[in-house]
């Protein structure tokens, strides 16, 4: 019989979207709950006492008042930007030219790519993030590096070679044909291996010619089960740039739609300044939008319309957007999402924030049955929170009158000290 581990403590999980149904119908809370982990999956769930009696041979780890959650899912990151996170004072286009492109050029060196890939995954695991969807660089070796690092950790990951054939330095340009060929080869090498998934990844319309967008659309049509990730309507000056580059396009989204890059398996990062047609088309096809609040405020992009887009029925995930985003932590990202919500007139509830960082992002990736959940049969990615990780948080949590009032200070003020334990595929990693 396979070795079994029993985790006990306070379980919080989601059975529905709390933006759409009453919280009582969306959230499951078990104060003395248990998860039985076996063969990398959640084999059973119930009360701690019942599971302990039914599985006396299981190694038990009791977290007491610790909060047992699905592992955090970060739906939009740039792992190659790890080294330039928190760089000063640039808007998007300046940020790319000043910081991003020089750093990404270093990934022509496989040793550098390997070093940063391992550093990035170690940093994010320490913050309770068990799955990421990452852009790489134009270098195929950058994909190999992050896939190899994730595979060694048993992690579920989505990643893809970033494709750019214009408006980028010469050493960071590919071509329509080489982007197709490299992406197809990487997809064949990694997609569906262990817990690894490939994402077709045109950076965004300004850095891809119509011919390259067409090639990426053709590759996606040939592999429709793959995700496609890109950026959309992040900043107003970016949108003006797109209008100049694509004068016949109806709007920014049309630059993707016209080339076969709009679909349910599409992940569209930022999506702040959407026009009515764009909102309607994204909803019609069931595409996923990814909210990147620390990046949007750090680079001065604007305020995401969480309330309006959720009310209209959009699929939405949450992301750090490392390194335009200013933190590796999904706790900090939830805090920023709350702050953006306040500025747009909507106070997001702690349950909504946790859903976005777990089940919401997992569903945006089309993986809601695998990750972002504590359901029996799902993959055993688990994060355990300490709700009294610092004196400031503890003194506030001590006054809480219910679970959500106890959780909220950790969401607002927590960091890696609040991450008590992390389990990836049933194995403790932090």
Domain of residue 234, CATH code: 3.20.20.140
Q: Are residues 263 and 198 part of one domain?
A: yes
Half-sphere exposure of 72 (CA within 13 A, CB side): 29
Chain centroid offset of residue 6 CA: 27
**Is residue 430 scored above 80 in pLDDT?**
no
Q: What pLDDT, on a 0 to 100 scale, did the predictor assign at position 111?
A: 98
Q: Of 364, 391, 409, which one is at a domain's C-terminal end?
A: 364
Q: Of 364, 389, 411, which one is at a domain's C-terminal end?
A: 364
Q: What pLDDT, on a 0 to 100 scale, did the predictor assign at position 91?
A: 79
Q: Are residues 340 and 380 part of one domain?
A: no
**Is residue 8 scored above 80 in pLDDT?**
yes
List, in sequence order, every residue forming a beta bridge with 68; answer none if it has no partner. Answer: 11, 384
Q: Are residues 411 and 269 part of one domain?
A: no
Confidence category of residue 93, pLDDT binned at 50, 70, 90: confident
Please say whether the beta carbons of 100 and 342 come within 8 A: no
- Tell me the mean pLDDT in the region 179-194: 98
Q: What pLDDT, on a 0 to 100 scale, did the predictor assign at position 89?
A: 81
**Is residue 122 scored above 90 in pLDDT?**
yes
Q: Are residues 49 and 137 part of one domain?
A: no
Confidence category of residue 92, pLDDT binned at 50, 70, 90: confident
Question: Which structural domain range is residue 38 located in?
Answer: 4-70+373-428
Q: What is the average pLDDT value for the chain, to the nearest integer?
A: 97
Q: Rounded to an integer, what distance in angstroms lies between the CA atom of residue 297 and that of residue 337?
A: 10
- Tell me the mean pLDDT in the region 10-35: 96
Q: Are residues 137 and 90 part of one domain?
A: yes
Q: Are residues 280 and 413 part of one domain?
A: no
**Is residue 296 scored above 80 in pLDDT?**
yes
**Is residue 205 scored above 60 in pLDDT?**
yes
Domain of residue 400, CATH code: 2.30.40.10
Q: 397: closest CA among 383, 384, 412, 407?
A: 407
Residue that the structure tokens 């599409």 belong to: 266
Q: How many domains is the chain built from?
A: 2
- Tell me the mean pLDDT in the region 296-314: 96
Residue that the structure tokens 């001065």 belong to: 300
Tell me the per-residue pLDDT of 340-352, one tens digit each, with 9 for 90 and over.
999 999 999 999 9
Percent of the chain having pLDDT more than 90?
Answer: 96
Q: What pLDDT, on a 0 to 100 scale, did the predictor assign at position 5?
A: 98
Q: What pLDDT, on a 0 to 100 scale, did the predictor assign at position 153?
A: 97
**Is residue 95 scored above 90 in pLDDT?**
no
Q: Rounded to an integer, what distance in angstroms lies between the CA atom of residue 346 and that of residue 39?
A: 42
Q: Are residues 378 and 274 part of one domain?
A: no
Q: Are residues 98 and 24 part of one domain?
A: no
Tell me the per-residue pLDDT of 17-27, one tens digit each, with 9 for 90 and over.
999 999 999 99
**Is residue 99 scored above 70 in pLDDT?**
yes
Tell me the per-residue pLDDT of 224-238, one tens digit each, with 9 for 90 and over.
999 999 999 999 999
Q: Are residues 28 and 169 part of one domain?
A: no
Q: Are residues 218 and 123 part of one domain?
A: yes
Q: Are residues 135 and 22 part of one domain?
A: no
Q: Are residues 317 and 206 part of one domain?
A: yes
The whole-model pTM stands at 0.97
Q: Rounded to an integer, what distance in angstroms lies between the CA atom of residue 235 and that of residue 238?
A: 5
C-alpha separations of 241 from 207, 209, 261 in Å: 11, 13, 19
Tokens describing residue 336: 């920023």
**DSSP run (H or E) holding 9:** strand 4-14
pLDDT greater at residue 92 or residue 398: 398
For residue 264, the tally of other CB atoms under 10 A from its CB is 12
Phi-psi region of 342 (alpha: psi -120 to 50; beta: other; left: phi over 0): alpha
Tell me the per-residue pLDDT of 47-74, one tens digit each, with 9 for 90 and over.
999 999 999 999 999 999 999 999 999 9
**Is residue 1 scored above 80 in pLDDT?**
no
Q: Of 343, 364, 385, which one is at a domain's C-terminal end?
A: 364
Please say whether the beta carbons of 9 and 66 come within 8 A: yes
**DSSP run (H or E) holding 11:** strand 4-14
- Tell me the mean pLDDT in the region 415-427: 98
Q: Rounded to an integer, what distance in angstroms lies between the CA atom of residue 176 and that of residue 167?
A: 14
């Amino acid at each position: 019989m396979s070795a079994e581990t029993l985790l006990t403590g306070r379980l919080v999980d989601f059975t529905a979207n709390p933006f759409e149904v009453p919280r009582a119908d969306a959230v499951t809370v078990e104060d003395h709950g248990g998860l039985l982990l076996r063969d990398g999956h959640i084999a059973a769930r119930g009360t701690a006492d019942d599971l302990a009696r039914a599985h006396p041979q299981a190694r038990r780890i009791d977290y007491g008042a610790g909060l047992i959650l699905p592992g955090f899912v970060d739906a939009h990151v740039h792992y190659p930007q790890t080294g330039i996170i928190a760089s000063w004072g640039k808007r998007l286009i300046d940020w790319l030219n000043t910081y991003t492109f020089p750093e990404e050029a270093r990934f022509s060196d496989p040793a550098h790519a390997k070093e940063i890939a391992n550093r990035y995954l170690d940093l994010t695991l320490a913050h309770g993030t068990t799955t990421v969807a990452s852009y790489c660089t134009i270098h195929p070796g950058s994909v190999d590096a992050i896939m190899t690092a994730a595979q060694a950790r048993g992690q579920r990951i989505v990643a893809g070679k970033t494709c750019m054939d214009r408006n980028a330095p010469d050493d960071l340009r590919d071509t329509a044909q080489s982007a197709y060929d490299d992406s197809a080869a990487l997809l064949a090498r990694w997609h569906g291996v262990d817990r690894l998934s490939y994402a077709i990844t045109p950076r965004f319309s300004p850095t891809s010619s119509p011919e390259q967008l067409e090639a990426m659309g053709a590759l996606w049509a040939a592999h429709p089960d793959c995700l496609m990730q890109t950026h959309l309507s992040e900043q107003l000056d970016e949108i003006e740039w797109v209008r100049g580059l694509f004068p016949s396009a109806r709007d920014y989204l049309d630059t993707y739609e016209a080339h076969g890059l709009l679909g349910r398996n599409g992940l569209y990062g930022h999506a702040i300044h959407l026009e009515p047609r764009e909102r309607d088309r994204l909803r019609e096809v069931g595409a996923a939008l990814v909210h990147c609040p620390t990046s949007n405020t750090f680079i001065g992009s604007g305020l995401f319309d969480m309330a309006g887009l959720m009310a209209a029925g959009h699929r939405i995930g949450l992301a750090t957007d490392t390194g335009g985003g200013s933190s590796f932590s999904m706790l900090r990202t939830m805090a920023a999402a709350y702050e953006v919500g306040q500025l747009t007139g909507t106070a997001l509830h702690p349950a909504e924030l946790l859903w976005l960082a777990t089940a919401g992002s997992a569903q945006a990736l089309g993986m809601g049955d695998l990750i972002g959940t504590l359901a029996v049969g799902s993959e055993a990615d688990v994060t355990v929170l300490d709700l009294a990780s610092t004196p400031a948080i503890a003194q506030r949590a001590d006054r809480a009158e219910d679970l959500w009032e106890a959780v909220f200070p950790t969401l607002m003020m927590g960091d890696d000290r609040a991450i008590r334990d992390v389990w990836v595929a049933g194995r403790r990693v932090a």
